[in-house]
Structure 1
Amino acid sequence: MVVLSCDPNDLGSSLRLIEELTANAERVQQQVLDEILTRNADTEYLHGFLKGRASRELFRNAVPVVDYDHVKPYIDRLANGEPSRIISSQPILELLTSSGTSGGQPKMMPSTAEELDRKTFLYNLLIPVMNQYVTGLDEGKCMYLLFIKPEISTPSGLTARPVLTSYYKSSHFRNRPFNKFNVYTSPDEAILCSDSKQSMFCQLLCGLAQRDEVLRVGAVFASAFLRAIKFLEDHWPELCSNIRAGSVSSWITGAACRDSVNRVLARPNPELAAAIEAECSKQPWEAIVKRLWPRTKYVDVIVTGSMAQYIPLLEFYSGGLPLVSTMYASSECYFGINLRPLDLPSDVSYTLLPNMAYFEFIEVDRVTDADDAGGECNCTGDLKVVDLVDVEIGRYYEIVVTTFTGLYRYRVGDILMVTGFHHAAPQFRFVHRRNVVLSVDTDKTSEEDLLKAVTQAKLLLEPLGYLLTEYTSYADTSSIPGHYVLFWELKTRATSDDELSTADVQAVMENCCSTIESCLDAVYRRCRSRDRSIGPLEIRVVRGGAFDALMDYCVSQGSSVNQYKTPRCIKSREAIQLLEEKVAGRFFSRKLPFWEPYRMEIKAS
């Protein structure tokens, strides 16, 4: 199957293509797998299992379902200069760094030139779908706040960078054909500015300068959009000053970025500056998005998965505008789109497009757990793997992909629930990442990561005679930026809340916070130190008996006394409030954790 293409300006043809793909999902999936195997049967990886044969039956029986630890040696070999054919018949042009981590470093996924065509195909379907629900999208512009991230070079010279940075720097994005439905307020030069502060300032400045033309606003993730609102709250006087003067501030030093923004400003506009000042001066900032960009029809941000925690803040700032999650994608593969974009965030389902990759699904059991009213998912004993068209409504699955880029039966780690079908293609609600307990931005901290960090930090308590007896955590997103909160219950020789206020204890507890941060992975540390998209980690020390009360609460909600274990992350508002009422001291990290652009620590196999 060749890579499909569609013209986003031809709405009818694009929608018909979606109908054809979903109606023939089983046949398309068979074609996809046949093509992947025919191309790649003689690669080193597949030949070891298939012996050169391109058989679907042999593929299912002989090729194992794997996770990143199994794939990593091949990625390391690519990074060290071995030829692409060890996993792919097509040249691997770059490695895409995921926001998930392995050993404290990002996972790296292979990518080819053809895969950019496949991503562009999916992007081009989004507006035709949206246009069915919201009219007049061709009568203005979109203020999408898009940013690039640091990239690195592997020992062999391959570039390794985040998937969105790869796309924004590609000719597919920079040389995109004119599309009357997707005219951005941000010049490409501002999006591609490597200084995130300058990029944010310039993109907001351009969005404000064209406020009367803006029909929709957004960013990729809800956290990024809220970060922009906070930035606007801190910098609106200077932004208004730029609009009044008709030129950008002198600290914007990137020549291309500066010139492109000055072209947007064009001339002094004191009337516009005064109108923006009038809105920004009002407190509170409720509905500020609708007030600053009055023609806006919706906010385009991902609010599923861990981003759902930001919905209350988004609703506050947006003033009731629809929150739209348009697509489901990862570094490994782009999966599908939301065919009902105006559904409430809690009801969002994504339809997997069968031409994007070959999809399989591991059945998982839904297990109700004390820390989350929604529960968690665990794989059943022996992995039962089913095809895309054989999943069942209401069941939970972990998605497995075989891609055109060299991943074979790879466990992505996303847990999904089947909500229905569009023709023969299933629709899924994203539930959560496997093993992830904390996430504020693109960080993904597992229970194991948290345990290792806490184990190091609690050693600092010993000289003071304190012992950590219990802990749990949650991601506090009630402010911008959000931050990790750990509840600690301590035991000491002389228990007194007053002891927590002494200078020695204060200093040790702050060091505990900093130690935990320094032990978390590189993505967390980057978000804290470079992006400033996560705030300082906080430890809240609770009075004795707090975790007994937590257990009593969990048991009252149906947890088994015999099987109860303290949840290491809590999401229940009631459980958080229960612990909050017993807080005796609050301590924050006072240091930024060390971070530098990822070093390649790749060993030849």
Structure 2
Amino acid sequence: SPPPQGSLLYLDALGTAFPRALARRGTALLHWSPGSARGPAGWPLPSLYCTPAAAAVLPSRAAALRVQLLFALRQRALRVLEAGLAAELHDVLVALRAEWPRLAQELELGRLSPQPGLPEGVREQLQALLSPAAARAAELRAECARGFEGIALRLWPQLEVVVVRAAHGAERLYCDSLRQADCQGLPFYCPFYQAAGALLGVNLWPKAPVPRFLLCPDWAFCEFLPCLASKEPRTVLLDELWEGREYGLVVTAQPGEYRCRTGEVLKVTSFHKQCPVVEPVRRESQMLSVRGESIPEEQFCQSLCRTLRMWPGARLIDYVCVESSLLGDSSGPCAPHYEVFVELQGLRDLSEGQRYKLDQCLQEDFPIYKSFRFKGSIGPLRLHLVRPRTFNQLREALGCPTAMPRVLREERLLQLVQGSVVS
């Protein structure tokens, strides 16, 4: 968890930018943290949250988030929606769309229904905190019946900000989706930068459109590998960084621990009181590469989104990629290639022309990929459509709250996704 200085800096920045954000019971915590009831702020802060700590530690991610949603719905005067990951808030609002009639009934009766992943003893403990709220249930029914665009501000009209622990990399897709629909009109604030399990920086600028993080020198020992170095790079320290340059991050989180190359690349955007301010650029561990072509996660996502814009009515919900080496014999006798699994809204099937379009866009966007495709060294990309809520199941299967991997490296996760293919 963040050191006390990190939590205090976060709360100070939040309170300065949004003066009513720290109201008593004014924050709904939507975060699954099995084994620990701490929120992303660093400690339970019982006076701040309206969601009970017991909900966060349930063994089931889906059950934990649903219970937290129910308690959040009771509190009309919310000021802050706080989620550990943007994906958690995304999944909570997906659950709201699917289950609002039942949630309204539970609000009206003041009753928490039995559900998978919710032990009966914990359910009874949480049940004791509920009371009938017929007026709030009626409001929920009325607003959900109107549709879900801007639903967050309609259900909680005093909301000031959405706080998410991570809004870059894999989480950016969910943030963009939330901004465009359910959380329309709300600012997003990402307070912390963490890597390799350590807190490294804090965002002191809650209203800035792009998260930037002040690296704090005494929270962990950081070294930096200059990107695009002309010779074998050597690591540099905080006081040797240059504004505008990109660096790979190496962390030693605690004294006596081994150095860890995190796979994160940071760009130094400025300095604040001589300390570097950085912006996360990419995760090297999430590059696609079957022949050394190294297609970055962010650029692949851009190519995928460009492809989808050519399919009328299609909206990307989520996706993952697999390099054919993980497929083993099931990929057949063919050249190394990518397989991409997408969940879409607005399309129930994919034509062969649509499937080929993504491969074509990748060739246009990445000349080295096009070269390998032309020579036959890389086979054609295979695109699969999966059924709704597949990625909710995938996040549950990950077993801990972590950013969604965009390139799957585990066979068990691949099998889960393959079992959900519908086209």
User: Is 1:279 matched up with 2:90?
Assistant: no
Given candidates 331, 343, 352, the residue that maps to 2:215 is 352
RMSD across aligned C-alpha pairs, in angstroms?
A: 4.0
Matched pairs, number = 357
Separation in 1, partners of 2:276, 2:324: 37
Residue by residue over 1:223-259, the C-alpha shift from the partner in whole angstroms, topping out at 9 and shown as x without a partner, is: 1110111111111111111111122114475355324
Change (3 A) 1:474 1:422: farther
User: Is 1:195 matched up with 2:68?
Assistant: no
Structure-2 residue corresponding to 1:542: 356
For structure 1, the 5+ residue unaligned runs are 1-115, 150-164, 366-378, 463-467, 488-496, 501-538, 568-578, 599-605
User: Is 1:362 matched up with 2:225?
Assistant: yes
Residue by residue over 1:402-430, the C-alpha shift from the partner in whole angstroms, topping out at 9 and shown as x without a partner, is: 23253243212210000001111101100
Which amino acid counterpart does residue 244 of structure 2 have in structure 1? G
Separation in 2, partners of 1:167, 1:270: 30
Structure-1 residue corresponding to 2:365: 554
8 Å CA contact 1:540–1:587 kept in 2: the answer is no
Displacement of 1:432 in angstroms is: 1.2
8 Å CA contact 2:37–2:57 kept in 1: the answer is no
Displacement of 1:436 in angstroms is: 0.8
Specify the SS of the correspondent of 2:79: strand
Specify the SS of the correspondent of 2:204: coil
Specify the SS of the correspondent of 1:258: helix
Specify the SS of the correspondent of 2:22: helix
Change (3 A) 1:457 1:259: same
User: Is 1:453 matched up with 2:316?
Assistant: no
Displacement of 1:457 in angstroms is: 2.9
Change (3 A) 1:597 1:236: closer
Given candidates 106, 109, 119, the residue that maps to 2:3 is 119
Change (3 A) 1:311 1:474: farther
Change (3 A) 1:127 1:547: closer
Structure 2 matches for 1:23-172, cutoff 5 A?
A: 119-140=3-24, 141-149=26-34, 165-166=35-36, 168=38
Change (3 A) 1:251 1:227: closer
8 Å CA contact 2:252–2:260 kept in 1: the answer is yes
Displacement of 1:437 in angstroms is: 3.1
8 Å CA contact 1:415–1:434 kept in 2: the answer is yes
Which amino acid counterpart does residue 216 of structure 1 have in structure 2? V
Structure showing greater radius of gyration is 1
User: Is 1:223 matched up with 2:223?
Assistant: no
Residue by residue over 1:81-108, the C-alpha shift from the partner in whole angstroms, topping out at 9 and shown as x without a partner, is: xxxxxxxxxxxxxxxxxxxxxxxxxxxx
Separation in 1, partners of 2:31, 2:103: 18
8 Å CA contact 2:86–2:167 kept in 1: the answer is yes
Structure-1 residue corresponding to 2:240: 390
Which amino acid counterpart does residue 245 of structure 1 have in structure 2? L
TM-score (norm 1): 0.52
TM-score (norm 2): 0.72
Given candidates 182, 185, 200, the residue that maps to 1:320 is 185
Greater relative contact order (CA < 8 Å, ≥ 6 in sequence): 1
Change (3 A) 1:339 1:237: same
For structure 2, the 5+ residue unaligned runs are 289-296, 302-317, 375-379, 401-423
Specify the SS of the correspondent of 1:193: coil
Structure-2 residue corresponding to 1:290: 153
Change (3 A) 1:127 1:476: farther
Separation in 2, partners of 1:478, 1:426: 40
